[in-house]
Chains A and B, each alone.
Chain A
Amino acid sequence: MNKLTAIFDSRRTWAWPYLLFLILFVVLPLFLIIFYAFTTPDRHFTINNFLQFFHTTEAVNTFIYSIAIAFITTLICLLLGYPAAYIMATAEFNTPQVMAMLFILPMWINFLLRTLATVELFNMFSIPLGEGALLYGMCYDFLPFMIYPIYNTIQKMDYSLIEAARDLGANKREVFTKVILPLSAPGIYSGIIMVFMPTVSTFAIAELLTRNKITLFGSLIQRAFGEGGLTMWNYGAALSLIMLIIISLTSFFGNQDDNETKTNGLL
């Protein structure tokens, strides 16, 4: 009993249940992706799953195409989102506080339903569903994720630095490129990650927005697990591993404290 109290007294141990949970439901499943990717359905080692991917031109093209789409979406969101975040966060423009709220509110409507409404919007003006619709829909779904982290970093910025730059003779452009932009870099990083990650991996949005005309890498993975049946799981795991590598590389470029910006951004 004394020993038990001792364990409880050292509050370090309070994290143990969660640690166990993380190992069982986060670490082990990730290793299972690697395990399935390198095995046959009867559990023998193989690299055929990867060869199958690299030998299917269609799959490789889809992969490259998805990355390109995610890249363009992220760029558009950044170009649209940065000015918006800047206008809302800087006192100069006198933006009412409620504006910032208005930008998160759409997230409360299920994103699939919003995507479907976008489809109907296109149908109403008889715009064909294709690449343009896909890009529009993706930007539409993920723009708030770009605006929020940037808004937060600009808002927390030390304004005396800007005043100092002005006093020291910097003109407007110099103040922006040499002070404001570098200071908002952490927000830009997390914004890029928060938009790029989901766009590179999405499958439902592309399926709904293009009526299955355009296949993205996420849909390839989903099909391997959904319609492929047992024999396709190992192939699907190989595709997942490729995506996992892309994700790890991307997050590697993000900085350490982007987690903080993320949560602050959402609430």
Chain B
Amino acid sequence: MESSQIEAKKRQRNLLTRRIFAQAYLWLLIVFLYAPILLIIIFSFTRSKVLGNWTGFTFDLYQNLFTGYDYVAQVHVDPNLYYSLFYTLLIAIVAATFSTLLGTLAAIGIYNMRQQQRRAIQFLNSIPMINPDILTGISLFLLFVFLNISRGLTTVIIAHVVFCTPYVVLSVMPRLTKMNPNIYEAALDLGATPFQALRKVMMPELWPGMLSGFILSVTLSIDDFGVTFFTKGSGGLDTLSTFIYADARKGGLTPELRPLFSLIFVTMLILLLIINIRANKQAKKN
């Protein structure tokens, strides 16, 4: 009796140590992942030109970021920072919208295809996902050169639609498989036009898939560097990625990038926490 109790206690203690070790390991990785980000956030509160050189606490960089003017140094903040931010968002939203429409239609089409056709188009669909950004970028660069199309905003948006749409197709497909295939036919039989049936019957069912496809597209588009780099041309168009790359090669990053990304990061953190807390509440209710 006693020995079995000791045994159970031992096992309990064993489990506890394992848990502690496991959690410590996760936190170690978290520190590894967050150390550089923390550095950016900390140094967004100091004026120094270079990261890592603390020159006293101040909100100056935040003020500069929002006013576009550095009152202490009496200079304007690099206007390209704002242009590239604007173009990053513009490209992401336009490309994600096109991708969502094109990809949703494609998913419905693919779903209704016969096995062989379906496999063929799914293979083509997977190419942009497998291809590294440098190859997607270079192949499109050669296409635009070959067709004599001058590179700029339009070519960048096309390029982003290329690598975003496959993810929309893959996000919408599972919704189609879950959907009752007869309700669309039923809507047609009851006199709806295909457009009405699409809008009123299919869209509500596909909506969550489209939304996650859209969000994923925006994320991919904002984070892209390689494809944009090869398709933007030399007309001075920049996204945040290519702006940072050019800036870093010149030596010295624009300090206002630090508060900008700190704000983006904190916003995302709060959003994720809210989503998480909500999901937890939902789970508890059920």
A interface residue numbers (CB < 8 A to B):
5, 8-19, 21-23, 25-30, 32-33, 36, 80, 83-84, 87-88, 92-95, 97-99, 101-103, 105-114, 116-118, 120-121, 123-124, 140, 143-144, 193, 197-198, 200-204, 207-208, 218, 221-222, 225, 233, 236-237, 240, 243-244, 247, 251, 259-260, 262-263, 266-267
User: Are B248 and A116 in contact (CB-based, < 8 A)?
Assistant: yes
B128 at the interface (CB under 8 A from A): yes
Q: Considering only CB atoms, which chain B residue lies closest to A8 in the complex?
A: B194
User: Are B105 and A17 in contact (CB-based, < 8 A)?
Assistant: yes
Which residues in window 130-182 of B have CB below 8 A to A? 130-135, 138-143, 145-146, 158-159, 161-162, 165, 167, 169-171
For A202, the chain B residues whose CB sits under 8 A away are 132, 134
User: Are A105 and B124 in contact (CB-based, < 8 A)?
Assistant: no
B interface residue numbers (CB < 8 A to A):
15, 18-19, 22-23, 25-26, 29-30, 32-37, 39-40, 50-52, 102-103, 105-113, 117, 121, 124-135, 138-143, 145-146, 158-159, 161-162, 165, 167, 169-171, 188, 194, 212, 215-216, 219, 222-223, 225-226, 229-230, 240-241, 244-245, 248-249, 253, 257, 261, 264-265, 268-269, 272-273, 276, 279-280
A128, chain B: closest CB distance, angstroms = 15
For A101, the chain B residues whose CB sits under 8 A away are 272-273, 276
- Complex Cα distance, B268 from A102, in Å, reads 11
For A94, the chain B residues whose CB sits under 8 A away are 19
User: Are A203 and B26 in contact (CB-based, < 8 A)?
Assistant: no
- Complex Cα distance, B230 from A29, in Å, reads 13
What are 27 inter-chain pairs, A to B, with CB distance below 8 A?
Answer: A9-B194, A14-B105, A18-B105, A19-B121, A25-B158, A27-B127, A29-B143, A30-B139, A36-B142, A92-B15, A102-B33, A103-B33, A108-B219, A109-B265, A110-B222, A113-B257, A116-B51, A118-B36, A120-B36, A143-B29, A144-B33, A201-B135, A204-B226, A225-B138, A236-B138, A240-B135, A244-B135
- Complex Cα distance, B162 from A233, in Å, reads 22
**Given A25-B162, A140-B36, A11:B146 Cβ within 8 A:** no
For A8, the chain B residues whose CB sits under 8 A away are 194
Known: A25-B162, A98-B276. 11 other contacts (CB 8 A): A5-B194, A15-B121, A33-B135, A33-B138, A106-B33, A109-B264, A117-B36, A222-B134, A240-B139, A244-B131, A247-B135
For B107, the chain A residues whose CB sits under 8 A away are 15
**Given A25-B158, A93-B19, A88:B272 Cβ within 8 A:** no
- Complex Cα distance, B135 from A218, in Å, reads 10
Question: Could you say which of A9, A29, A106, A113 contacts B142, with CB atoms under 8 Å apart?
Answer: A29
Question: Could you say which of A13, A16, A108, A262 contacts B264, with CB atoms under 8 Å apart?
Answer: A108
For A218, the chain B residues whose CB sits under 8 A away are 134
A-side interface mostly: helix
For B37, the chain A residues whose CB sits under 8 A away are 106, 109, 114, 117
Question: Could you say which of B134, B140, B279 contacts A221, with CB atoms under 8 Å apart?
Answer: B134
Q: Considering only CB atoms, which chain A residue lies closest to B283 in the complex?
A: A97
For A16, the chain B residues whose CB sits under 8 A away are 109
Question: Could you say which of B113, B127, B130, B159 contacts A15, with CB atoms under 8 Å apart?
Answer: B113
User: Are A243 and B135 in contact (CB-based, < 8 A)?
Assistant: yes
User: Are B22 and A117 in contact (CB-based, < 8 A)?
Assistant: no
Question: Could you say which of B126, B162, B165 contacts A259, with CB atoms under 8 Å apart?
Answer: B126
User: Are A26 and B134 in contact (CB-based, < 8 A)?
Assistant: no
For B39, the chain A residues whose CB sits under 8 A away are 117, 120-121, 124
A183, chain B: closest CB distance, angstroms = 20
